[in-house]
Structure 1
Amino acid sequence: MTAENSVTGSSWADFQRAEPAFAATVQARFAKYLHHVLATLRKDGSPRVTGLEVIFREDQLWLGMMPDSLKARDLLRDPRFALHANPGTDGSMDGGDVRLSGRAVEITDQEELARFAAAIEHPLPFHLFRVELSDVVRSSVDGDEMVLQSWHPAAGLVTRRRR
C-alpha cells in the first residue's frame, strides 16, 4: 500500500452529518484562534511541525499554503497530516484540546481555485488542500474526570472517561 492510499477518510461534511454536535464543538475550538499547528512528513519520513490557518467553507475544511512552501511540498509528496488546534495562551484549555488527522487532497482545478481565492479575498497563487479525515479527537476535563472523545469514519464517536 502506498502513502497515498494508506489512509482513507471522510470529508468534513461527512463528519458533520455523522456527528453534528461534536463537529460544531471541534469547529468552534479551531475558530477560537487564528493559528494552529500542522504536522507533515518530510522527505526522509521525519515529522515537520509548522503554523497554519485553517478555513471552514462550503461544509469542508481547507488548508491553504504559500506556493512552494515546505509544508505544501510535504503534502504533495505524502498527503498524511495531523492538525492540532491552538491550545491558547492562558493555559486554560477552554473548550478542550482538539486534534485531527487524515489526508490533504490538493485542489488543482484553476476555476475552483479562482472561485475560492475570490471568496476568501486572497490573491492566487497558493496551494489549496481539502481535508479528508481519518480521526478527530477532543480531550477535556469534566469535574474530576478526563473526557476523551474520538471519532473515526468506520467506528463513529466513542467517549471515554478517566479519573
Structure 2
Amino acid sequence: MTTNWAAFAATEPDLATTVEQRFRAFPHHVLVTLRRDGSPRTTGLEVRFLNGELWLGMMPGSLKALDLRRDPRFALQANPGPDTGMAGGDARIAGRALEVEDPEVKGAYVKEVEPPQPFHLFRTELTEVVRTCVEDDTYLVAQVWKPGEPVRTLRRT
C-alpha cells in the first residue's frame, strides 16, 4: 500500500510537519536507489514539497534516474546538517518514485522550481516515514508511519 505526501499529511499532520521541516532545513539529502544487480546506490539529491507531493528531480541520464526507471523503490535520508547534534531528529522516507511524463504536470513544476533543463521528474508514493530523536537525553524515540496504519512510537533507553 502506498500514498502521496498530501494523504500522509492529512492523516498524520504533526509528524508530516516535523519531517517536512527536517527536509527543508538543508537543500541536499541522501537518496538510496537499487542498482541493476540489486545493490544499493547512495547519491545526493534535492527534494521539493509542492502541491501535496514530494518530488525528486534529477539530471538527464543520471544513474539514480535510470535506477528508478528500472526499479522505483527508494529511501531518502534527511541531511543532518553540520554540527547540529541531530537537533530536530533524523527523518527518513521510503517508497516508490514514478517518473512524470505529462507535459502539464512537468510544466507546473518548472514554473514553481525553475530546474535546469532537461531533467527527470519523479512523483513519490510513500510506503514508510520514520522520525528518530532523543527525548529528555534518555530515550531514543522512533516514530514510524506506514499507509493505513497509525503512527507507532517506540522508546528505548
The one-letter code of the counterpart of 2:97 is A
- The alpha-carbon deviation at position 124 of structure 1 amounts to 2.9
Q: Which consecutive unaligned segments of at least 5 residues does structure 1 have?
A: 1-7
The answer as to 2:22 corresponding to 1:29 is yes
Q: Report the alpha carbon displacement of residue 112 of structure 1 after superposing the two structures with TM.
A: 1.7
Alignment match, 1:79: 72
Equivalent runs, 1:7-46 vs 2, <5 Å? 8-46=1-39
Give the match for residue 110 of structure 1.
Answer: 103
- Residues 90-139 of structure 1, C-alpha deviations (whole Å, 9 max, x = no match): 05101001111000011001122122112212243111011100000011
Match of 2:129 among 130, 136, 139: 136
Q: Residue in 2 aligned with 1:3?
A: none
Q: Aligned partner of 1:161: which letter?
A: R
CA contact (8 A) 1:85 1:98 kept: yes
Q: Identity across aligned pairs (percent)? A: 54
* In structure 2, distance between residues paired with 1:71 and 1:107: 15
Which residue, 133, 140, 149 being the options, matches 1:155?
Answer: 149
Question: Unaligned 5+ residue runs, structure 2?
Answer: none
Q: Match of 1:45, as an amino acid? A: G
Amino acid of the residue matched to residue 17 of structure 1?
A
RMSD value over aligned CA atoms? 1.0
Q: CA deviation at 1:88?
A: 1.4
Give secondary structure in 2 for the equivalent of 1:118. helix
How many residue pairs get aligned? The number is: 156
Alignment match, 1:93: 86
- Return structure 1 stretches of 4+ with deviation > 6 angstroms: none
2: CA distance, partners of 1:122 / 1:103: 22
Deviations 1:2-43, CA, capped at 9 Å, x for gaps: xxxxxx311000100110011000000001111000000001
Q: Quick one: which of 54, 58, 65 aligns to 2:51? A: 58
TM-superposition CA deviations, 1:28-77 (whole Å, max 9, x none): 00011110000000011111000000001001100000011000000000
Aligned counterparts of 2:68 and 2:55: Cα–Cα separation in 1: 13
Determine the C-alpha separation between the residues in 1 that align with 2:40 and 2:116: 30
Q: Is the 8 A contact 1:117 1:124 kept in 2?
A: no
Which residue is 2:115 aligned to?
Answer: 122
